[in-house]
Amino acid sequence: MNRKDRTRALIVMNDANEAHCLAKRLSSAACAPTAAGSLSEAHAAFAHGAFDVALIEHPLHDDETKAVALLCFAHGVRVIVAEQPDAPHAELQDFLTFIGAETIARPLTVAGIAARLAVDGREAA
């Protein structure tokens, strides 16, 4: 499978080290992840290429979660937000619904994340 057929995923988490570790674990023939630890790192990642899907960890601060999600939405990227099951904030949830973001409950497994990030290469083109 060549690189352009792989899902280009942006992983945005509170902890940049954790994001990089997860990206390494997700790296495979079908997924080409890029890690970011903040809004500024996510913004910089778009300067280096396009993405098919973004996984955003919440609890980033609500405003930062919204900003990263909106940045991805503006670039036409499918947004998935991983949130604590006991921490859905109504305003944040309304915003995520408005932009068409998906939410998944934590804790996450690498296999579960990989399945959610999967995008058919023809759809991503």
For residues 10 and 5, give the distance between their C-alpha atoms in angstroms, rounded to a whole number.
16
What pLDDT does residue 60 have? 56
What pLDDT does residue 29 have? 57
Residue 104: C-alpha distances to residues 24, 29, 46, 79, 125 (Å)? 21, 24, 24, 11, 25
Please give the residue range of the domain that contains residue 41: 3-119
What pLDDT does residue 102 have? 85
The pair of structure tokens assigned to 102 is 């998906």
Residue 124 belongs to some domain of the structure:
no
What pLDDT does residue 125 have? 39
Low-confidence ranges of the chain (pLDDT < 70): 1-5, 29-30, 58-62, 84-89, 119-125
What pLDDT does residue 76 have? 92
For residues 21 and 23, give the distance between their C-alpha atoms in angstroms, rounded to a whole number.
5
Supply the CATH number for residue 64's domain: 3.40.50.2300
Domain count, the chain: 1
